[in-house]
Each structure stands twice: as C-alpha cells, then as structure tokens.
Amino acid sequence: MTAEEVPDDHPRHGSLVTRHRIEEGVEKGITSKQGLVAQGRGEALDYLLGEETVPAAERAERTAVARTLLADHAVVSVNGNVAALCPQEAVSLAEAVGADIEVNIFHRTRERLEAIAEHLREHGADEADVALRGLEADARIPDLSSERAKVDRDGIYSADVVVVPLEDGDRAEALDAMGKDEIVVDLNPLSRSAQTATVPVVDNVVRAFPRMTEYAETLASASDDELREIVDSFDADEALHDAERRIREGFGDGDTR
Ligand code: ATP
C-alpha cells in the first residue's frame, strides 16, 4: 500500500499516511533507517498530544512566523524525514516567509543530498521563489563534530533565523551558540532541541508547516512593530510547559479539543 492508497475513512488515517511516506522516503533513498526510529518516537508523543495542534503550539507557530518575517535572512532546514513527510509544505512555508531551504542531514552522502534536493524540486522548489541550498557545504558550524556541521556559507551559516524541524540536540545547541534564533519543530518538549529553541513548536511538522504558512499569509501586512510585539510577548518556557502538561495529563478542565 502507498500513502495515497490508505482509505480516507480509516480511523488511523493520518498516522498511516505518515508511516507510508517515511517508508517510501527510505525506499527512495531520501530518509535514513534512523529516520524510522525518530518517526516512531514522534508518533508516540503525537498520540499523547491527541494528534492535534495544542493551543501552546498554535501560539508558537504564529510567533515563529512573526520572528521569521522579521529576519534578515531566514533558512528552513530540511532533513530526510521532513523531505519525505512534507516536501511541498516545506517549500510553501519557505516561500511564504521569504526563507531559503537548506538540505542538512545527519547520515550525509552525496546521493542522499541530491535525492532530497531532487524530491524538493519535484514538489515545487523549482517553480517557487526559493533558493535551494545545502549542496555547497562550504562552511562549518563551529564545535560540532557530526556531518551536520557542514552548511552553506550563504545559507544556514549566515542566517539569523533557522527553522529546524526534527533537529538533533547537538546541532540545535551549536546553532544557538552561533547566536542564531531557532524555530524548532519537535513533538518532544523535553528534547534538547526544543529546550534550546527561541521558539519551540511542539507539534507534528505535517500540521505545523501548513498552519505556519497560513499565519504567514495573515501576518503579511503586519508592521514590524506588530510582529515584534508578537515575538516579545511569547514565553518559550511556558509553551514547553503547556505542551508537556498536555502529554503527561491529557485534556484537563481548561483544555478544549
Ligand atoms: P535531542 O538530542 O534534542 O534530545 P533526539 O536525540 O531525540 O533529540 P532525534 O533522534 O534526531 O533527536 O529525534 C528527532 C525528534 O523529532 C524526536 O524528538 C521526535 O519526537 C521528533 N519527531 C519525529 N517525527 C516528528 C514529526 N513528524 N514532527 C515533529 N517532530 C517529530
């Protein structure tokens, strides 16, 4: 069965489609086998969140977009899981907020980089007004030993805001040390990446990216002062705390589904 063949009325439709996309990603050489493990962890947490965007994540998504619209140079970092799960949504988001896309992967081979770039092109990166980066790898993130340290000088290296979905904690910390503002999309509010983020978005990337693109459209006419007000009034610790409480305690009295 492929992702497209999962019946619409299946009670676990969303989750099954996601699994199939990741499986297809592995088969196409886009996603690493390690990506399957990350997917499993994400699924478990999403289950506990009720597989919906919780209010704290909504606030974070709006703030993330405001911060990105204020950026001098924003980059959306795309790895093998994100490319498999939501390539078109990543392109749409980057276009809506005026960001570049940079392919950045842990298990780095030239073939995988090319396959991900090609997959993104097949999903609109060519037609969109978006620079596709990550193939130059002519700069390094300091103090990071993994292959993920390799970045484009005109991309992540020089960006002031980086959107990092499904990030590993080491790189999130290294980007933070470079003084970058990070928008982390991660279903685990306890991960080092989420804890390091300027704006932690505790949501499934397949829901977060389209919603962020919608916010980009509604905030497109906002002034810089209005955008700054949104960013300044956001409390990252509170957002993480709210998401963690939802995972641990489920839907309390004050919560609505
Ligand atoms: P850290 O080093 O920050 O503690 P980690 O070692 O858990 O993180 P990875 O193994 O790279 O990092 O895991 C990727 C993260 O992505 C996990 O926290 C997982 O919950 C999350 N994740 C997986 N799938 C999704 C998804 N579809 N949307 C959002 N987050 C996801």
Report DSSP letters for 68-115, one per residue. Answer: HHH-SSEEEEE-HHHHHH-HHHHHHHHHHHT-EEEE--SS--HHHHHH
Distance 223 CA to ligand 1 centre (A): 34
Question: Is the Cβ–Cβ distance between 46 and 204 less than 8 Å?
Answer: yes
* Residue 234 counted as domain residue: yes
* Residue 115 counted as domain residue: yes
* Residue 49 counted as domain residue: no
Predicted confidence at residue 252, as pLDDT, reads: 59
- In total, how many domains does the chain have? 1
CA pair distance 112, 223, nearest whole angstrom: 40
Q: Which atom of ligand 1 is the closest one to the Cα of 34?
A: 10
* Residue 226 counted as domain residue: yes
Q: What is the CATH number of the domain that holds 104?
A: 3.40.50.12640
Distance 221 CA to ligand 1 centre (A): 33
How much of the chain is helix, strand and coil, in % rounded to 5?
55, 10, 35
- Write out the chain's pLDDT in tens, 257 residues: 777 777 777 777 778 889 999 999 999 999 999 999 999 999 999 999 999 999 999 999 999 999 999 999 999 999 999 999 999 999 999 999 999 999 999 888 999 999 999 999 999 999 998 999 999 999 999 999 888 899 999 999 999 999 999 988 999 999 999 999 999 999 999 999 999 999 999 999 999 999 999 999 999 999 999 999 999 999 999 999 999 999 999 865 554 44
Q: Does residue 79 have a known ligand-binding role?
A: no
Distance 134 CA to ligand 1 centre (A): 21
* Residue 27 counted as domain residue: no
* Residue 3 counted as domain residue: no
Mutate to test the pocket of ligand 1, among 23, 41, 43, 183 (most ligand atoms within 8 A of CB): 41
Closest by alpha carbon to 82, among 92, 73, 74?
A: 92
Residue 127 corresponds to which tokens in the numbers above?
A: 């037609």
Domain range spanning residue 96? 55-248
Question: Is the Cβ–Cβ distance between 191 and 166 less than 8 Å?
Answer: no
Residue 149: what residue type? A
* Residue 29 counted as domain residue: no
Q: Which residues line ligand 1 (CB under 6 A)?
A: 38-39, 41-42, 45, 85, 166, 168-169, 185-188, 191-193, 204-206
For 83, counting Cβ atoms within 10 Å of its Cβ (0-12 exposed, 13-18 middle, 19+ buried), the class is buried
Q: Which atom of ligand 1 is the closest one to the Cα of 18?
A: 27
Taking the CB of residue 254, how many other CB atoms lie within 10 A of it? 6
Taking the CB of residue 208, how many other CB atoms lie within 10 A of it? 27
Distance 81 CA to ligand 1 centre (A): 10
Residue 87: what residue type? P
* Residue 37 counted as domain residue: no
Distance 35 CA to ligand 1 centre (A): 9
CA pair distance 154, 219, nearest whole angstrom: 26
Mutate to test the pocket of ligand 1, among 21, 104, 168, 182 (most ligand atoms within 8 A of CB): 168
Which amino acid residue places its CA nearest to atom 1 of ligand 1? 169
